C-alpha cells in the first residue's frame, strides 16, 4: 500500500464529500468532482480524508496512492488555482488567444488552433502563455498538448517549453 494513503489528508477550509461513487471537493475558488474507482474506499473524518483499499487486490493497493494524490491535488486546487507558463522561442513564432481557441504560428505552412478547455483560462503576453486552472490534471494535459505542437529542438532551442525547463543543447557542425 502507498505511503501517501497511510496518513490522513488534511482538508483545511475545503469541504470534501463522497456520495454515489463521486468525490466532491468544494473550496473558496472552485468545486471539483471525480469518479471514485469501485475498489477504493474514501472516508471523510474531522482529522482528514482517509483512502483505503476495499479488498487486498494489487489494483486496489495501487489505486489507493493514486487517489490519495488526486484528493490532495483537488483540495489544493480548490483553494488556490494551479499555474503553468509556456514560453515560445523562435523568430516569427507567435501565439494568441482568439475567443475560446489558442492560435499558434510556429513555422508550419498553416496556423494551428487548439480549443481551450472550459476549466482552463489562458493569457498571452508577448511570447509567454500563462495557463491557470483549479484542476491540475486538465491543466497539465492541455499544457502538454500545446508543447507537443512544437517541442524545443536541441540545436537552436526553438519551440515551446515550460518555464524553468532545461533544454539540453547539442553542438552544431564544426567548421573544417
Task: Give the HSE-up count for residue 29: Cα atoms under 13 Å, Cβ half-sphere.
Answer: 14
Give the pairing of strands 40-45 and 31-35.
unpaired
Last residue of a domain, one of 44, 79, 114: 79
Residues 60 and 91 in one domain: no
Q: How far apart are CA 87 and CA 54, in angstroms?
A: 44
Angle at 26 between CA 23 and CA 31, to 5 degrees: 85
pLDDT in tens, 85-99: 999 998 999 999 999
Q: How far apart are CA 12 and CA 46, in angstroms?
A: 10
Task: Give the HSE-up count for residue 136: Cα atoms under 13 Å, Cβ half-sphere.
Answer: 13
Task: Average the pLDDT over 125-153 and give the result.
Answer: 95
Domain count across the chain: 2
Residue 169 counted as domain residue: no
The residues, ordered by sequence, that sit 6+ positions from 53 with a Cβ below 8 Å of its Cβ are 1, 39, 40, 41, 60, 61, 63, 64
Residues 71 and 89 in one domain: no
Residues 68 and 88 in one domain: no
pTM: 0.89
* Domain hosting residue 16, numbered range: 4-79
What integer best gives the mean pLDDT of the chain?
91
Give the pairing of strands 48-53 and 40-45.
antiparallel
Q: Is the pLDDT of residue 1 over 70?
A: no
pLDDT in tens, 38-77: 999 999 988 899 999 998 889 998 899 999 999 999 999 9
Last residue of a domain, one of 79, 111, 128: 79
Last residue of a domain, one of 53, 79, 105: 79
Residue 170 counted as domain residue: no
What CATH number is attached to the domain comprising 12?
3.90.930.12
Amino acid at each position: 500500500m502507498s505511503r501517501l494513503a497511510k496518513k490522513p489528508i488534511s482538508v483545511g477550509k475545503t469541504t470534501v464529500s463522497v456520495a454515489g461513487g463521486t468525490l466532491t471537493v468544494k473550496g473558496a475558488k472552485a468545486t471539483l468532482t471525480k469518479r471514485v474507482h469501485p475498489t477504493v474506499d474514501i472516508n471523510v473524518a474531522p482529522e482528514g480524508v482517509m483512502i483505503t483499499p476495499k479488498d487486498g487486490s494489487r489494483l486496489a493497493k495501487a489505486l489507493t496512492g493514486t487517489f490519495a494524490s488526486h484528493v490532495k491535488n483537488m483540495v489544493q486546487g480548490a483553494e488556490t488555482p494551479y499555474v503553468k507558463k509556456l514560453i515560445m522561442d523562435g523568430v516569427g513564432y507567435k501565439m494568441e488567444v482568439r475567443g475560446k481557441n489558442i492560435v499558434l504560428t510556429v513555422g508550419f505552412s498553416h496556423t494551428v488552433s487548439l480549443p481551450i478547455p472550459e476549466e482552463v483560462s489562458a493569457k498571452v503576453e508577448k511570447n509567454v502563455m500563462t495557463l491557470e486552472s483549479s484542476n491540475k490534471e486538465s491543466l497539465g494535459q492541455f499544457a502538454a498538448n500545446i508543447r507537443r505542437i512544437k517541442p524545443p529542438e536541441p540545436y537552436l532551442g526553438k519551440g515551446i517549453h515550460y518555464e524553468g525547463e532545461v533544454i539540453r543543447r547539442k553542438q552544431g557542425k564544426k567548421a573544417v
